[in-house]
Every structure is written in C-alpha cells, then in structure tokens.
Amino acid sequence: MKPIDLDGHSLTVEDLTLLARTRKPIALTPEARRRVQASRALVDRWIRNNEVVYGVTTGFGEFSNVRIESKDLNQLQENLITSHAAGAGDYLPKQISRGMMVLRINALAKGFSGVRVELLEQLIAIFNKGIIPVIPSQGSVGSSGDLVQLSHLVLAMIGKGKVWGPGKSGGDSQIVPSAQALKKAGLKPVRLAPKEGIALINGTQMMTAFAGLAVADARRLAVLADIIAAMSVEALRGSDTQFDERIHRLRPYDGQSTVARNMRKLMKGSDIRESHRHGDPRVQDAYSIRCIPQVHGASRDAIDYVHKIVSIELNSANDNPLIFADDGVHLEGGNFHGQPIALVMDFLSIALAELANISERRIERLVNGSLSGLPRFLTTKGGLNSGMMIAQYTAASIVSENKVLCHPASVDSIPTSANQEDHNSMGSIGAQKAWRVLRNAQTVLAIELLCAAQALDFTRSGNGKKILKAGRGVEAAHRYIRKHIHHLDEDRILYDDIQSALDIVLDGTIRKAVENETVPLD
C-alpha cells in the first residue's frame, strides 16, 4: 500500500481522516529528514557546550530556573513523560489516538523541534504496525498543549504504557502492555534523548485530532442535512419559491446560495410541488422550511471557517522551544497554546447544534397532524399505535443536551504550574464537546430521515388515486431508505430503526444514490 508522505507542510484534513480511520501507512520525505537532522545537530552542539536551553538543560514550567546536570539529561526527558502521564477518564477513541500520532509526526517533520530522525522513524514504524496507544481523555487544559494525553502516547513508545493490540484469535483488539506489543511487532522501546520528551508532548495534537475528524464529518453531514430537509419539505407539501436563486443572490453568502441550489436540484421535477402550486391557501411556509438555506447555509459557512483554521494547525510547529537551524538559535514561545482550536471548536459545536435544532423543528411538523395534514404521529391506527411520537421526544432530548454542550469552553481558563501557566485555552474540552455535539446532530438528522420517509409514504399516495412523485433527488433518497428500513405499519422498536437510519447518515451512501439521479450536490 502506497504511503502518505509527511513533510510538515502539506497534510490535509482528508489525509488525516484517511490515516486515522484506515491502515494506510505513512513515510517521511527526504527534505523533512534533512531538516530534522539539521535541527538535531544544533541541539547536540548546545548540549556539548552546556548552554542553557529550556527543557533541555533546565527543568520544566515553574522549574525552568533549575539547571540539570549533563549526566541526568536523558533521565530528565523520561521523568517528564512519566510525571505528566496523569490522565483520567474514559479512553480516547482509537481513531483519535491514531490521529494524534499522525499529527505529532507531521509537526516534528517540520524540523523545528530538535529530535533525532531515529525517533521519528520509530514513531512512524509504531504507527504503520497498527499499534495504537491507550490514552485517557481527561487532564488537558489546552495550553502547553495536550501534555497529559501526549505523555500517555509517548509512554507507549518507551515501553511503559498500554496499547490496543490484536485479540488472541485475531478478533477484536484488547489492551496489552506496550512493551509486549512492541516486541511482537519486532520493535524496541524508544530511548529518549535530550529535548525529545518535551518535543513530543508540547502540542495541540489531541484537540486537533478531534477537530480534524469532526470538521471532516461535519462537512459531509451538511450535505446530508440538505437531502433530509428536502425530503421533509416534499412530505409537508412545502413550496420551492423560497429556494429561488433570485432571493439568495441578494444576500450572497456562499453557504446560503449553495443550500438553496441543492434544494432546487433535489426538488426538481416534483409532482407533489406541482399538485399544490395553485389554490394552496398558504402564502409561505414556516421558518424551519422556508429558512433552510439561511440556517443550513450559515452552519456551512461556519464549518468552512473551522476547516480553514484546522488546516493551518495540522501543519504548524507547536512545541517549545523551537529550534531554528538556519539561524542557529532556539526561541522560547507559546505556539503550544490551543486558543485557535479552542475558539473554532466552540464555533463548530454551535453550527452543528443549529443543524440539529432546525431538524428537530421539522420533525415536530412531520409528526404533528395539525401542522402537517398527515396522520397524527405518522400512523394510520393512532391510539392503538403511537407511531413516531417518541422519536420526536428523543430528538427533543438530544437538542436540549446540545444546548448545554454548546456553552463555550474557550471563555474559561484556570491557572496551572504555580501560575506560570496563567491562561489556558480549554481547547481539549471544547474539542471533546464538539465531538459529542456532532454525534448528537447526526442522530437527530437520522430521526428526521426516518420521519421524513414515513411522511413521504403518505404524501406520495395523495388521495389514493395516483402516486405523486417527489423531486428526482428526493425520490432517489426515499427509495434508498426503503431498501433498508420498511414503512412503519404498526408499532415496533424504534431504537432499531433509528440506528439503521444513523448508519445511513454515518456511511453517507445515500448521497451517492441521490447524485446518481441528479447532478452532484455541493
């Protein structure tokens, strides 16, 4: 399998997603190797000359004024990792741990960290062998980087931590000592040299791993939200007037125009729309229908902004001190501070929560017979059956949870290290909240997908005389759903249907089914 080359400059969100979720290997470019060697040579010279370099010949944080004897410099780095591996809470998802490894390798490959090429090659070998560090989720305040989580990652490298290893019969992975997994893979534990411990753990790799994967999923979800919303519009016999290009030309936000264009594509050729074009007493639809371009579009623009910021962070040097080989200097700074990611993770949470909020309002309109004109709770035997009644409860519960999760983490700070580190980003918390909001939004949209398909079954049948077809894109989506989830004739366990709909949302294959019938969606 051809590896993805890492050079510290050209990693994309798409690359990160592929590497975190598959067994795609990685490699170091020759130019990156040269830069890494040059910065390491400078560190070695400073050590020989007994120069004062933070974290190399001094202690850390509040202990930066303590000089370390040359004989203890290697031990200093291992002690740093051991002492900072103080995490708590549930383990990070494996894809996040893999994403952290990719990001740390890419940052070191820039050549401003002063590590040995051998260290980088060993980390690449561990990644390519499929060894995944077991990393607890709690403990980072998002400045000096994700110190705790990265320390647990390094523990796995030096043979003192735990990793996910293959099961005894090659089945599900299980947690094993890293020394055991390294030996089985034909690798030896890393011996840290001066500067390497601090270079490995100063950085934003946990929050950025969450951010990169979340924004990639958010982009895909935004397109699916348009497909699902179009199904609801058709089921509710909504108008297409609100999606007219002329309206959106006068308020030219990119996201708004894109969503309106998608809605027009999805509803094109709709018999349902034509059936009530004349004589319908409604002058205009409710906001959850009429303002889909404005709401979905604003979330899209926010997601695009987050993508831009995350793309910068993926290829940034964010440890301390930084080594400038061409200038022969080391500079102490604060590139490890997670504020850029902290802010956009709060923004992403809000953008995703709004996709869920408006979706839940459409769900309510679908199941509310007085608003939809459809059978109450989308069942023909109401009373005996409850239909989709409680599906709306679940969506309401989830969007309410999101409102709590969207309280910004980035406005908080708490001092650490005897007030030396007196402003912290809380980006690690913001990133994990955004991840949870994303999962919640996916679930709410899955519930809307379920309800919209059920409602379309009734709307398409009209008065029973003929089947009224929706737009070609909506018809394709409806056919795809009905291949996987049957119409709800009588009550059954909705949990199973919701999970099936969520699987469709997560795998994104419904988009391909739609685009086979229409032009590509944006």
SS (H, E, C) 229-246: HHHHHHHCCCCCHHHCHH
Closest residue by Cα to residue 35 from 3, 9, 74: 9
What is the Cα–Cα distance from 147 to 338, expressed in whole angstroms? 11
CB atoms near residue 69 (< 10 Å): 10
Residue type present at position 417: S
For every residue of 312-327, DSSP letters joined together read: HHHT----SSEEETTT
Identified catalytic residue from 54, 91, 253, 305: 54
- Catalytic (active site) residue 305: no
For the stretch 165-198, what's the b/e string if a residue is b when 16 or more beta carbons lie within 10 angstroms of its beta carbon? beeeeeeeeeebebbebbeebebebbebbbbbbb
What is the Cα–Cα distance from 495 to 277, expressed in whole angstroms? 37
What is the Cα–Cα distance from 479 to 178, expressed in whole angstroms? 48
- Give me the helices (H) in 49-116, please: 73-84, 94-108
What is the Cα–Cα distance from 461 to 463, expressed in whole angstroms? 6
Contact criterion met (CB below 8 Å) for 285 and 242 = yes
Half-sphere exposure of 8 (CA within 13 A, CB side): 19
Phi, psi (rounded to 5 degrees) for 359? -65, -45
- Beta strand pairing status for 4-6 and 26-28? parallel
Question: N- to C-terminal Cα distance for the chain?
Answer: 31
Catalytic residues: 54
